[in-house]
Amino acid sequence: MKSAPKSYPIATKLPDQVNEAAVLSYLSTETVTIFSLDTLREMALFNEAVIADWLNVNVKTLRNYKNKNTVIKDHVQEKIVLLLSLFKHGKQVFGDYKAFSTWLETNNFFFDNKAPVSFLTTFSGVLFTDDRLTALEYGDNV
């Protein structure tokens, strides 16, 4: 993991939690660009291989997205927004990205004694992780 990042302007427009309607609304009004992907890389504090796995692409494809002529596929754009929203929510719950990332890497009873990070490869896994964050916010011992 890298050092904790600062505040990100893109985060102000993102949904505060992973919500399908809010994500679709965001995607209809905003463009997901390499800047969005770079923001995810910095917020997530995980390496490119892990992020590529979350996006269901290989590292080479992820690196190719740095090319300004490369269009990020729709399903990858959606996953980027979901993950950015998850990390935004995680920061709200834990106070910073580093603490949230540590929680993601820690085995958890509510995740079948696996680390929540292992659930981020699927849309439903991201939604489940966000639901657990909401439970934590309201006093559930997650």
> What integer pLDDT is reported at residue 44 of this predicted model?
92
pLDDT tens track for 2-19: 444 455 656 667 877 788
pLDDT tens track for 125-142: 999 999 999 999 888 765
Residue with the two structure tokens 């929203």: 85
Give 108's strand partners. 114
User: What does the alpha-carbon distance between residue 1 and residue 124 come to, in Å, rounded to a whole number?
Assistant: 25
> What integer pLDDT is reported at residue 80 of this predicted model?
94
Helix residue spans in 95-139 (DSSP H): 97-105, 123-137
Predicted TM-score of the model (pTM):
0.87
* Regions of the chain short of the pLDDT cut 50: 1-5
> What integer pLDDT is reported at residue 86 of this predicted model?
96
